[in-house]
Amino acid sequence: MKNKKMLTLFAVTMLAAVSVPSVSLAAPVGDIQSNGRVSFQADKSATDPKNPLDPGEKKPGTPLDPIDPNGKVTPGTNGPLSLDFVSSFSFGEAGITSDDATYFAKAQSFTQEDGTKVERPNFVQVSDKRGTFEGWTLKVKQDKQFAVIDDATKELEGAELSFLNASTASTVDSKYAPDGQSEFKLTPGSSQIAPLTAAKDKGMGTWVYRFGDEATKAKSVALSVPGKTPKMAKEYTTSLTWSLETTPNP
């Protein structure tokens, strides 16, 4: 019986050994590479204003000009390096006072597709679609002091414009963000200042330079007026010139 069991075990072992398929190692016969290619070119098409709170929003709506009676905004510039949009600033109506006072510009209004209006921060928008990585500089100048529309000799002496809570936003990675001042002031008639600068290898794509966020959008563009300055019971206006240059500041 013992010999019979050993014989049976030997037979099963041999059968299992025969059943295992042999494995042959494939020898390489050579390699070949394929290639991929994509090419980009400067984009000269216009870039619409973005939502300054969410530049990636697909349908941000249309910004309105608070000064134009029809709400029509000034068109942006053309070209692969473009100044797409700049807010205008309305400080509303105020009573004449002999005290120092600060007035804030209304938030930037947008009309949505369904006709509703939403308020967002005032902002400036720049697009660099040149594909050169050269950098750029945004400059601004207050052309003149606030003055009465029909009598330029009646100025709002000592009035000062301040921009507060400024920051940049884009769908582009933040490591490419231009360098911006968080706040700055303008002196009427003085030379331009550069609140936003993209050095070499920065500022590519579309960037929003916004004044305030959801909480501070109506408190981030300020007009300070000395109490000692006499005021006429009329409307005062000024103008700002925003310029975009291809060469950044050193």
DSSP string, 144-175: S--EETTEEEEE-TT-EEEE-SEEEE-SS-GG
Give residue 12's pLDDT: 47
Give residue 53's pLDDT: 98
Give residue 250's pLDDT: 55
pLDDT at 1 over 60: no
Percentage of the chain beyond pLDDT 90 is: 84
Give residue 191's pLDDT: 86
> pLDDT (tens digit, 9 = 90+) per residue, 208-233?
999 999 999 999 999 999 999 999 99
Lowest mean pLDDT across 9-18, 19-28, 74-83: 9-18
Give residue 7's pLDDT: 46
106 alpha-carbon distance from chain centroid: 20
- Of 45, 39, 40, 47, nearest to 206 by C-alpha is 47
pLDDT at 55 over 60: yes
- Of 211, 106, 214, 221, nearest to 166 by C-alpha is 211
pLDDT at 177 over 60: yes
pLDDT at 11 over 60: no
Give residue 100's pLDDT: 98
Give residue 50's pLDDT: 98
Sheet with strand 151-155: strands edge to edge = 151-155, 147-148, 236-237
Give residue 19's pLDDT: 53
pLDDT at 105 over 70: yes
Residue 39 tokens, joined: 């090419």
Domain positions in the chain are: 42-245
Give residue 22's pLDDT: 57
Q: Phi-psi bin for 61: left (phi > 0), alpha (psi -120 to 50), beta?
A: left
Give residue 21's pLDDT: 56
Q: Phi-psi bin for 238: left (phi > 0), alpha (psi -120 to 50), beta?
A: beta
